[in-house]
Amino acid sequence: MTFGARLAAAIDQWGPLCVGLDPHPELLARWGLPDTAESLAAFGETVLEASVRSAAAVKPNSAFFERHGARGIAALEHVLRRAREMEVLTILDVKRGDIGSTMEGYADAYLANGVPLETDAITVSPYLGFDSLRPAFELAEHTGKGVFVLALTSNPEGHEIQHAVGVDGVPVAASIAAQAAALNVGATPMGSVGLVVGATTGSAVSDLGIDLAALNGPILAPGVGAQGAGAAELLQVFGNARHRVLVNQSRGVLNAGPFVEKLRGAIQAASGAAQYTLQSGGSQD
């Protein structure tokens, strides 16, 4: 089964929430955990236990594991392995982007079957040229994995590149979206090449002429909760593409930890709110 099909099934069953697994030092301290690699594994276990049958996916942020060196990577391997055992979909946030054999190496590291850091999908950066990512797309198609391409990110600095007009006269973000859509043509229930589009990007989708409904793939939406976006922003940004949106929340739910039951309740509440907004358009009818 393709990643797109598995994610669509998970969203249908558990709601359109992706839990951002971001074990930054301040959050570990809030949970009463020291800033160690061992804490990362314990933190990850708790988030996974709370996310099973409550969220469509989890998104570990590789940076917070990498900062602990080899032990941190071992903790990330543990979290990814436990997620597979629990049948929780993982999107590893690595934002890789390179050329040729180097990109092949990154693809092999995460998207091949049976590797230590095997994950269901990764995030990638297209700013060395969209086609430079082809090794990741090709391997993901072969192994049934997914790829999320940065398009319109939630950080305020993103517009410097993403809103710029390319040599073809098309805004960079619009070009990325169109090329991603071309890889999903004919896929059912949806393709496995997604976009990262921040819920904080306001009118940028319409201003730049981006047709998100044509993507036929998942849209990972950071920026909800602690970064300020709510129901109104989700509807403004995603419009008639909202049924493909996977809302990412990290601090907004993880602050409910460290106890599994309370964290699960926060995840279920966030998932229910996202589902209501995206399916009903926020209407009370």
Instruction: Output phi, psi for 95, to 5 deg.
Output: 50, 45
- Catalytic residue at 262? no
pLDDT for 172-224, tens place per residue?
999 999 999 999 999 999 999 999 999 999 999 999 999 999 999 999 999 88
Q: How confident is the model at residue 284 (pLDDT cuts 50, 70, 90)?
A: very low
Instruction: Using the Cα atoms of residue 63, residue 65, residue 71 and residue 73 in order, give the sign of their dihedral.
Output: negative
Q: Assess whether pLDDT exceeds 90 at residue 281.
A: no
Q: Closest Cα to residue 184, out of 213, 162, 158?
A: 213
Q: Assess whether pLDDT exceeds 60 at residue 283.
A: no
Please report, for the chain, the start and end positions of each structural domain, with discontinuous segments joined by +. 3-13+90-278
pLDDT for 251-263, tens place per residue?
999 999 999 999 9
Q: Would you tell me which CATH number, out of the four given (3.30.1490.20, 3.10.310.30, 3.20.20.70, 3.40.190.10), belongs to the domain 3-13+90-278?
A: 3.20.20.70
pLDDT at 279: 86
**CA 246 vs CA 88, 111, 129: distances in Å:** 15, 20, 25
CA distance 76 to 82: 10
**CA 78 vs CA 25, 84, 260: distances in Å:** 19, 10, 18
Q: How confident is the model at residue 285 (pLDDT cuts 50, 70, 90)?
A: very low
C-beta separation of 103 from 135 below 8 A: yes
pLDDT for 263-279, tens place per residue?
999 999 999 999 999 98
- Structure-token match 């990154």, residue found: 106
Please give the average per-residue pLDDT across 68-86, as a whole number.
Answer: 99
C-beta separation of 258 from 33 below 8 A: yes
pLDDT for 89-99, tens place per residue?
999 999 999 99
Residue in 59, 95, 145, 262 annotated catalytic? 95
Q: How confident is the model at residue 232 (pLDDT cuts 50, 70, 90)?
A: confident
